[in-house]
Amino acid sequence: MSTATKKEHKQNRPQRGGVATFVEAIRQGIWEEMERDPSVFVIGEDVGVYGGAFKVTDGLINEFGEERVIDTPISEAAIVGAACGAALMGMRPVAEFQFIDFISPAFDMLTNYAAKCRYRWGAGLPTVFRGPCGAGVHSGPFHSVNAEAFFLNTAGLKIVEPSTAYDAKGLIKAAIRDPDPVLFFEHKKLYRLPRLREELPEDDYIVEIGKARTAREGRDLSIITFGAQVLTALDAASELEREGIDVEVVDLRTLAPMDKASILASVKKTSKVLILHEAARTGGIGGEIAATIAEEAFEWLDAPVVRVAATDTPVPYSPPLEEYHLPQLKDVLDAARKLAAY
């Protein structure tokens, strides 16, 4: 699939803040943390001279050298294991998966070693495991995964997925400073999306892990979502506004530990919930969200909890098939209208 292109070289130090794309915001965040803290280093496949498949680490090697920007063999389990070992020594690794699909060979290292170390003997592992996730760019079954649900049942892993440039920078910096392992998922569709270009503060800032964000205030129903689907939700909201339906959009930002308080607050406000995610419906994170609501906000509900998600198949390659598989704006509108009318 087409990743970064020749034109986009930004070998040099990124500016501090200023107008930035989603990818540039993450690059700024990592760069600033490496300047701030010598124990921070980057490790992964093709992250050095090449600057990463999506150029997230572009230029870092020129600034920080091979010692702190490490190209590895094609060995995801070793990347995770080595990151954990280095973290035990007091380093703060930021490990890249070239695509989040390739986190799966490291599933064991993440869920059994990284996740359980502090619990077993008090050894916290300040580690970040990041990479491009998500579908919608016709990359087929092996370059499109949304992996959050694979890890949600394993205590000890934080999961973060931003949807704005501001949050991306603030959250990657928070993740790097976090005392525990953080899985940081970046939807590849957002990296260079003009719509997400925004002015970032010059000064150092972080966005706290574990806190959702109200992307849009509304009274009639809540769409609870995250990542690239926040944009679908916002588009649906403006369209529904014209129909007199006032939609609130909650951007979770952190998927584990989940911000239950914000979810429940929104539900109690609107009494109707639509959960939207890009991964397959069955076994997806929507189940956890719906269960939490059905359990803790039952009395406030005026309608069934509705999930809009991908169909229960792998992510197909061909555009018409992928479009059928993925949740579309029309699916959200349809569900929202039925919910509103319920």
Partner 1 sequence: MTNETQRKAGGRGGRSKASRESGKKGVAESSSSQGSGNGASSSGDGGASSLEEAGQEFQVTEMWLNGLPSADPLNERGELVCTSETSLTPDEMLELYRYLKLTRVVEERLVNLYRQTKVVGGVFRSLGQEATAVGTAYALETQDFIAPLIRDLGAVLVKGIRPREIFAQYMAKAWGPSEGRDLNIHFGNMEKGFIGPISHLGDMIPVMTGIALGGRMQKKNLVAVAYIGDGGMSTGAFHEGLNFAAVQRLPLIIIAEHNWYAYSTPTSKQTAVKNLADKAAGYGIPGHIVDGNDIIACYEVTKKAVEHARSGGGACIIEAKTYRRKGHAEHDDQRYLPEGELQFWETRDPLDRYERHLLSKGIATREKLDEINADISREVDEDVAWAESSPMPEPEKAAYNVFDNSVVPPAFRPPVFGSEQ
Ligand X SMILES: Cc1ncc(C[n+]2csc(CCOP(=O)(O)OP(=O)(O)O)c2C)c(N)n1
Whether residue 289 contacts residue 274, with contact meaning beta carbons closer than 8 Å, is answered with no
Residue 171: exposure state from Cβ atoms within 10 A (0-12, 13-18, ≥19): buried
Please state, in angstroms and rounded to a whole number, the distance separating the CA atoms of residues 334 and 342.
12
Residue 178 binding partner 1, by CB under 8 A? yes
Residue 294 binding a second copy, by CB under 8 A? yes
Residue whose CB is less far from a second copy, 8 or 296: 296
Which partner, partner 1, a second copy, ligand X, none, binds residue 206 by CB below 5 to 8 Å per kind? none
Q: How far is the CB of 51 from a second copy (least distance, A)?
A: 26
Residue type, 334: D
The footprint of ligand X on residues 93-132 (CB under 6 A) is: 98, 102, 105
In order of 84, 104, 190, 256, the CA distances from 165 in angstroms are: 28, 27, 9, 20
Q: How many CB atoms lie within 10 A of CB 259?
A: 19
**305: three-class secondary structure by DSSP:** coil
Residue 287 binding ligand X, by CB under 6 A? no
In order of 2, 175, 187, 231, the CA distances from 192 in angstroms are: 12, 22, 10, 14
Whether residue 54 contacts residue 23, with contact meaning beta carbons closer than 8 Å, is answered with yes
The footprint of ligand X on residues 42-61 (CB under 6 A) is: 45
The site for a second copy, by CB under 8 A, has a size of 52
Q: What is the DSSP letter of 15?
A: P
Residue 68's nearest CA partner among 43, 97, 36, 35 is: 43
**Could you give the string, one character per residue 92-111, with x where binding to a second copy holds by CB under 8 A and - elsewhere?**
---------x--xx-xx--x
User: From the list 16, 257, 283, 329, which residue makes contact with partner 1 (rule: CB under 8 A)?
Assistant: 257
Residue whose CB is less far from a second copy, 11 or 282: 282
The site for partner 1, by CB under 8 A, has a size of 99
The footprint of partner 1 on residues 292-321 (CB under 8 A) is: 292, 295-298, 304, 306, 311-314, 316-321
Residue 10's nearest CA partner among 67, 51, 64, 45 is: 51
Whether residue 66 contacts residue 101, with contact meaning beta carbons closer than 8 Å, is answered with no
Residue 37 binding partner 1, by CB under 8 A? no
User: From the list 258, 326, 332, 333, which residue makes contact with a second copy (rule: CB under 8 A)?
Assistant: 258
Instruction: Dump strand ranges (E) for 168-216.
Output: 182-187, 198-200, 213-216
User: From the list 25, 285, 339, 340, which residue makes contact with partner 1 (rule: CB under 8 A)?
Assistant: 339
Residue 286 binding a second copy, by CB under 8 A? yes
**Could you give the string, one character per residue 155-194, with x where binding to a second copy holds by CB under 8 A and - elsewhere?**
xx--------------------------------------
**What's the chain's length in residues?**
342
Binding residues for a second copy, per CB under 8 A? 101, 104-105, 107-108, 111-112, 115-116, 119-120, 141-142, 149-156, 256, 258, 275, 279-280, 282-291, 293-296, 298-299, 301, 303-307, 312-314, 316
- What is the binding site for ligand X (CB under 6 A)? 45, 74, 76, 98, 102, 105
